[in-house]
């Protein structure tokens, strides 16, 4: 029985789904982060291979208790589709394709599809047959927006915006939300210093202070900039935030912001998320062009689909903030989708495409 594998490789986790030719899911596994921009080739390969090996355990006869060794037996995997965050250049794509080809013993070609993780989010275009263009948006730990056009059933990438990583912003993603939270909390502290009035430590502000094991807002800076822990260090006696890299000190604040905003209606947290939503909406708008832009690479939202993925975009209220910002600029999409399991959608879509392909 031919198997079809799809891997969604992101900044927080790796998700692998394997299905049969009928789209029935036979294997599934989750692994560690596999954003190619942040990892060495060896670290990326390790994360992906371990997750694939786990997913294959229930796909062989008899099922295995231990991870299945790679490459798998010839013919076991008919085709594979990898959506990898951080693959943003031809050289990165070439490097990673060779690695994955060797890992699965699949030749480079039509049976091995490798691209940015946004490609997996274009799958809903298959059910919106009246539309031929889509903007896919990942808003998770990081963020990126990519536009595609469907030409004779094949996706053609038209443009991309964002996806620059945590240092440069990743607009609207977890890094950016955490970064904006610290900025706005520090700003509130600055205001208090100017007015000579004490800063009100709301439950939200207190949660941010607690995340850095400090009691006053100015102390956040020194806590945030403490050097990253050394990879070989076994130190466990310092505050929790010193045990994780600086970028995760920011992205780990996102759940605190979302809780305060949507559970507690905290005005500062709501403003942080509106600011982040407007930032990613600006990236999306770039792909739609100016009002009178006649480029063949831009299209109108009114005749297109927007398809979201990622943990932050999975929160309906935050997704609506992004759509509201776009609407304020005149960009109202004909259809909106959220893909909550890109690996499953990708695996089933891959099986369907091979099943219906003309020999």
Asked if 116 and 299 count as a contact pair (C-beta separation under 8 A), the reply is no
**Which residue, 103, 177, 185, is CA-closest to 140?**
177
Strands 3-9 and 77-84: parallel
In a domain, 273, yes or no: yes
Regarding whether 158 and 111 lie in a shared domain, the answer is no
Regarding whether 159 and 30 lie in a shared domain, the answer is no
Please name the residue that has the structure tokens 């070439």: 94
Asked if 272 and 177 count as a contact pair (C-beta separation under 8 A), the reply is yes
Query: Which run of H or of E encompasses 9?
Result: strand 3-9
Regarding whether 142 and 172 lie in a shared domain, the answer is yes
Please name the residue that has the structure tokens 């298959």: 126
In a domain, 147, yes or no: yes
Per-residue model confidence (pLDDT) at position 234: 55
pLDDT averaged over the chain?
A: 90
Per-residue model confidence (pLDDT) at position 205: 96
Per-residue model confidence (pLDDT) at position 359: 44
Per-residue model confidence (pLDDT) at position 171: 95
Asked if 175 and 142 count as a contact pair (C-beta separation under 8 A), the reply is yes
Query: Which residues in the chain show pLDDT less than 50?
Result: 358-359
Per-residue model confidence (pLDDT) at position 243: 87
DSSP 118: G
Regarding whether 11 and 150 lie in a shared domain, the answer is no
Distance (Å, rounded) from C-alpha 13 to C-alpha 281?
25
pLDDT digits (tens, 9 = 90+) for 20-69: 999 999 999 999 999 898 889 999 999 999 999 999 999 988 999 999 99
pLDDT digits (tens, 9 = 90+) for 180-196: 999 999 999 999 989 87
Number of domains in the chain: 2
Strands 143-151 and 77-84: unpaired
| Interior angle at CA 241, CA 235 and CA 243, nearest 5 | 25
Query: Which run of H or of E encompasses 218?
Result: none
265: CATH: 3.30.420.40
Regarding whether 174 and 284 lie in a shared domain, the answer is yes
Regarding whether 324 and 344 lie in a shared domain, the answer is no
Per-residue model confidence (pLDDT) at position 246: 86
Would you call 171 helix, strand, or coil by DSSP?
coil
**Domain containing 180: what range?**
132-207+248-333
In a domain, 222, yes or no: no
Per-residue model confidence (pLDDT) at position 313: 95
In 94-189, beta strands by DSSP E:
112-115, 133-139, 143-151, 154-162
Regarding whether 10 and 148 lie in a shared domain, the answer is no
Would you call 203 helix, strand, or coil by DSSP?
helix
Whole-number percent of the chain with pLDDT over 90: 64
């Amino acid at each position: 029985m031919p198997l079809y594998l799809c891997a969604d490789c992101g900044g927080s986790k790796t998700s692998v789904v394997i299905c049969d030719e009928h789209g029935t899911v036979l294997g599934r596994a989750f692994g560690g982060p596999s954003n190619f921009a942040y990892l060495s080739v060896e670290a990326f390969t390790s994360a992906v291979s371990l997750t694939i090996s786990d997913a294959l355990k229930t796909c062989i006869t008899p099922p295995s208790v231990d991870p299945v060794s790679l490459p798998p037996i010839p013919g076991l995997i008919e085709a594979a589709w990898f959506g990898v965050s951080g693959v943003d250049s031809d050289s990165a794509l070439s490097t990673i394709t060779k690695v994955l080809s060797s890992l699965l013993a699949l030749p480079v070609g039509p049976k091995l599809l490798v691209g940015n993780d946004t490609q997996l989010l274009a799958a809903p275009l298959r059910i919106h047959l009246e539309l031929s263009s889509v903007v896919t948006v990942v808003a998770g730990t990081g963020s990126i927006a990519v536009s595609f056009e469907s030409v004779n059933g094949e996706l053609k990438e038209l443009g991309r915006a964002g996806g620059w990583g945590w240092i440069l912003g990743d607009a609207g993603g977890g890094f950016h939300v955490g970064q904006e939270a610290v900025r706005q909390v520090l700003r509130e502290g600055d205001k208090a210093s100017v007015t000579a009035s004490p800063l009100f430590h709301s439950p939200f502000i207190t949660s941010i202070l607690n995340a850095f094991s400090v009691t006053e807002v100015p102390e956040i800076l020194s806590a945030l900039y403490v050097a990253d822990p050394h990879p070989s260090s076994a130190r466990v006696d310092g505050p929790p935030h010193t045990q994780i890299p600086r970028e995760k000190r920011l992205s780990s604040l996102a759940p605190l912001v979302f809780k305060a905003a949507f559970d507690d209606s905290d005005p500062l947290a709501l403003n942080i998320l509106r600011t982040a939503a407007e930032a990613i909406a600006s990236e999306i708008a770039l792909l739609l062009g100016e009002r009178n832009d006649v480029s063949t690479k831009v299209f109108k939202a009114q005749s297109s689909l927007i398809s979201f993925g990622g943990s932050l975009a999975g929160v309906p209220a935050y997704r609506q903030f992004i759509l509201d910002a776009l609407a304020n600029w005149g960009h109202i999409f004909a259809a909106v989708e959220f893909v909550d399991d890109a690996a499953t959608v990708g695996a089933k879509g891959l099986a369907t495409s091979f099943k219906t392909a003309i020999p």
